[in-house]
Amino acid sequence: MFTLLSKKNLLIVLIFFVLYFFLGFLCFKHYGFAFDEDIQRQIGESNLKYIINYFGISHISSPEILYPHYGVSFEALALIVEKIFRVQDIHNQYLLRHFLIFLFSFIGVFFFFLLLFKRYRSTILSLIGCLLLILSPRFFAESFYNSKDIVFMYAFIISFYFSLLFLENPKTKNIIFFTLACAFLINIRVIGVILPLLVTIIFFIKYLRSDYKEFILYFFSYLFFLIIFTILMWPSLWSDPINGFINAFFVFKSYNIEIYNYYLGNYTNAKNIHWYYIPLWIFITTPPFILLMFFLGKVLLIKRVFGRLFSINNKDENKDLWRGSSELIDLISILSIILPICLTILLNSTLYNGWRHLYFVYPFLILISINPIYRLKIINQKLQKLSYLVIAVFSLYYSFWNFKFHPFQYSYFNILSGQKAHLNFDVDYWGLSNKYALEYIIKNNKYNSEKINVSNLSDTNLILNIKLLEKEKRAKINYVGEVMKSDFLIDNNIFFKPSNKKRREILEHFDIFHQLIIDNVLITSIYRKKI
């Protein structure tokens, strides 16, 4: 691919990714710790212990796998890196995790560039697409601490890129790369099977006019390697692959956790959310410019797909569902958005914490949003240059927004969400602001007591963020289970089971000490006990 780039363009691409890496390296230490990071690390550790015991390397008592229905590909890799570098202090262990999550995100953005270039054959459009992804506030922030949804999103992009190579030329090398990438994807989240299923359908359509024997050979080769690699990467499947995989799929469909989502000003059980839950979250957390360009691109693509569909002619190869790799990318992209959302609605899947379970559709949303800009080149080059100016303004605005509100970009809501979005939607569901709140208390506490008694009023994990403070700060905080014995309360307004009455009764004994407000959105409140 790089042979298609001039030396000047290659240099521009290199500078872009060096700057992105440098930015990530500067930022990865600034974010708080998500409430389930500890569990994710434990999942990786339990799988490594199981592997060590399975092969007789060392005998470990009770090597059961924690949450066997969760894939472990990234978690195991992160833990192996931690062990190789012998990182002992818990604070540094989790900082290393954050860096590794960013590193994987960096690789994912690079593959997104490859995908965009494969589609549009334009360096500037490909870099614009990468910039739109990087500058999307929530995705920028989560690329440092979200080892499930963001890592899955970028693994999906990498797998998608290799799927195109496989569809273009199903030789052994491409089959192995594609199935390895897909196995890694499925071992993060089982919903990753949607990509090989899509590819199978496209592959079948492609060979309708060809020798079916050739199709059967390639298909079974790809299926064989996919099954083998998936099982090899997923230790909990080793003893019973079929039942283990089926169980993981049904667990994903309906998590057996009693959690309430707060949206549109009401608490709703995560098992009984409205059909518009995902579309609504996409609508209020995506920058409006990207939404507008996506809707334009979607209309253009759907119109073309239906035009191709109704003009298919078995005797004329030029009248097919797609023409060339560019149209194929468009087709799979639109399906990669529509199918997961529709399946989620039809299966009434359990969803919580916004739309993070479907983050993997976002890069395809951006890919399609580039399409109208690409078409302007054909219609009017002056209009395309004007669109570059609009994109420059957008990029400057969101660069400033990200800089101003760093490291709380995860709280971003667009103008369509209305004023004070925290009154209608969950904001800090990961509990990331707990780190900020603890450090603020330590810095601004006027009492010279050796230990500061702190408790959390909301349901996010405060203990983990205390454990992950630097040693000297950690020594100053004492977690108190009984809130009435606390000097300070931290409340980021996240309640898995709402109990506002009890909360109001507690707060009668406390005064507001500090509130963190980002762009009119309240993230967390710190209360100090009345004297």
425-445 pLDDT tens trace: 999 999 999 999 999 999 998
pLDDT of residue 62: 56
Task: Compute the distance between CA of residue 372 and CA of residue 364 in angstroms, rounded to an integer.
Answer: 14
Report the candidate in 108, 493, 135, 427 with the shortest Cα–Cα distance to residue 281. Answer: 427
Mean pLDDT check: name the lowest of 112-121, 221-230, 482-491: 482-491
User: What mean pLDDT, rounded, does the chain reach?
Assistant: 88
Band (pLDDT 50/70/90 cuts) for residue 514 is very high
pLDDT of residue 426: 92
Band (pLDDT 50/70/90 cuts) for residue 387 is confident
Query: Residue 477 burial (CB < 10 Å; 0-12/13-18/19+)?
Result: buried
Report the candidate in 300, 289, 301 with the shortest Cα–Cα distance to residue 332. Answer: 301
Give the pLDDT confidence of 191-218 residue by residue, as tens digits.
999 999 999 988 888 777 666 777 788 8
pLDDT of residue 494: 86
The answer to whether residue 463 scores a pLDDT higher than 90 is no
> SS3 of 489, please?
strand
Give the pLDDT confidence of 221-261 residue by residue, as tens digits.
999 999 999 999 999 889 888 888 888 777 776 566 678 88
Residue corresponding to tokens 């064989």? 224
Please state whether beta strands 452-456 and 477-479 pair in parallel, antiparallel, or not at all (unpaired): parallel
pLDDT of residue 109: 98
Positive or negative: CA dihedral 346, 351, 355, 360 = negative
Give the pLDDT confidence of 84-108 residue by residue, as tens digits.
999 988 889 999 999 999 999 999 9
pLDDT of residue 319: 59
The answer to whether residue 136 scores a pLDDT higher than 70 is yes
